[in-house]
Amino acid sequence: MENVGERIRNRRKLMALSQLKLAENITSQSAISRLENDIYTIPLNELIDVLERLKLDIHEVLCGNSKTLAHTVREKLDKAREQLDYDKIDLILKSHERNLWNDSPEMRGYKLWHEGLVKQSKGEYRAAIISINRAIEKNKKNEKMYELVAEMHLAKGNIFNAQNLNDLDSYKEALYYYEKSRKRSHKIVVKILYNLSVKFCEAGEHEKTLKYSNKALHILHNHESTYLICYVSYMKMSALLNLNRFDEYYEFKKKSRIFFEIANKLQMLVNLENYSEENTF
């Protein structure tokens, strides 16, 4: 059975990372070398960041296959949330005693956040916002939860959007906490950037639309991902049209057309070809 140092070294090599690249913006190369030799002089927060960069679960690495109940429940909620299975979320929330949720600020925040999502799914928007705000308050100073706090603000923005209320500040807060988290969950940040690009386009601030759509496309390129690529590309082309940058528009549309064809979303390009203010969205 691999020890911790071996797991880190083997995973690093599997991902074709040098010790220096693995350490970048987290710790020193020498600290990585010591880790791989089972010498633990690295601060815990840096160890967590190293394991996350390697996509290794800290509980599995440090504790074998044993996981706490809280960790298992959070994993189940994460999976149900990703699948938009609100009935499953509700069932998980109701299946555990109060002492589990009061175990830590993280667990209390998790419960409040997911209760808010269930309420949102039922159209109980005011109650959903109150619950998610309480979840944010529990963890807004908790560095371990910054990425999830970003998701909470994203959920708030979506609720405000559903009610035609001002959602821009929520999306800005989502980006702020995501960037503070130093995480690399590209789908979350692309979702945030896409929403920001839409909001700025609606406000007529097309330079900002272009800024956020370009940033999202850069992230997708780096991750070799097509997540939301048609929608992000659409926002970029809309911004270019509004800014009268037609040469850039036609060149980018030509390069990105294949993604719209594969996703069977050519109608989006037709909307742009018959461009007018009212059919931009």
SS3 9: helix
Contact 10, 2 (CB under 8 A): yes
Sequence-separated (6 or more) residues with CB below 8 Å from residue 18: none
Cα–Cα distance, 206 to 238 (Å, whole number): 8
Q: What single-letter amino acid sits at 117?
A: L
Q: What are the chain's domains? A: 4-63 (1.10.260.40), 68-179 (1.25.40.10), 184-281 (1.25.40)
Sequence-separated (6 or more) residues with CB below 8 Å from residue 171: 153, 154, 157, 192, 195, 196, 199
Whole-number pLDDT of residue 39: 80
pLDDT category of residue 36 using cuts at 50, 70 and 90: confident
What would the two tokens of residue 130 be? Answer: 């109150």
Q: What single-letter amino acid sits at 109?
A: G
Burial class (CB within 10 angstroms; exposed 0-12, middle 13-18, buried 19+) of 215: middle
Contact 32, 22 (CB under 8 A): yes
Whole-number pLDDT of residue 45: 83
> How far does CA 75 lie from the centroid of its chain?
16
Q: Is-above-0.75 flag for pTM? A: no
Cα–Cα distance, 171 to 154 (Å, whole number): 6
Q: Residue 2: is its pLDDT beyond 90?
A: no
What would the two tokens of residue 162 be? Answer: 């559903």
Helices (H), 122-242: 125-139, 146-162, 168-181, 186-202, 206-222, 229-242
**pLDDT digit string, tens, across residues 191-220:** 999 999 999 999 999 999 999 999 999 999
Whole-number pLDDT of residue 143: 84
Q: How far is CA 120 from CA 109, 154, 184, 259, in A?
A: 16, 13, 27, 32
**pLDDT digit string, tens, across residues 55-97:** 887 766 766 655 678 888 998 999 999 999 999 999 999 998 8
Whole-number pLDDT of residue 281: 44
Element (H, E) at 102: none
End-to-end, the C-alpha distance of the chain in Å comes to 55
